[in-house]
Amino acid sequence: MRIVDFEPRHAPAWRSLNEAWIGRHFTVEPADEVVLGDPVGQVIAPGGHIFMAEDADGAAIGCVGLKAMADGGFEVIKMTVAEAARGTGLGRDLMRACIDRARALGAPRLYLETNSGLGPALGLYRAMGFVDLPRQDTPYARCDVWMALEL
């Protein structure tokens, strides 16, 4: 497995990987559609980054985005690992790529929004040093947990 920067060829996998996990637990919302339909315009062009995880054959098996925030930090968005690659440590590797990139760019923090029903994700975020925040404004109906990691 390897983690690479997003290329236009990854757009279909970015959409399908995220639609799979969101659809398994929730409903794809309008805010999801915007980011999934235009990853370059919505994430990369405004100063963000997307990482894609690929298997030995080059197939996309995971992804995560860093959306630029007004304070110079990044919001961790759309992190998922394909069902067949779960339990391999790939989620931790993707989060480590986010932390390393944000630190290299001098970002003051990482921020994320998630759901209390996603136990493995919450465990990973807490293990990586994220702490809970009070309620924040969000475009997502499914969001009920807010977290940040000071860098």
pLDDT of 85 reads 87
For residue 83, the enclosing domain spans 2-150
CATH of the domain at 121: 3.40.630.30
Nearest CA among 142, 141, 67, 81 for reference residue 111: 67
Q: Hey, which residues does 49 pair with through a beta bridge?
A: 66
Report pLDDT for 83: 86
- How confident is the model at residue 88, as a pLDDT? 87
* DSSP-derived pairing of the beta strands 74-81 and 109-114: parallel
Domain count for the chain, please give it.
1
Q: Which residues of the chain, if any, have pLDDT below 50? A: none
The CA-atom distances, in angstroms, between 50 and each of 24, 39, 90, 133, 134 are: 22, 8, 15, 24, 27
Single pTM value for the model: 0.95
pLDDT of amino acid 119: 92
Task: Tell me what pLDDT residue 123 has.
Answer: 95
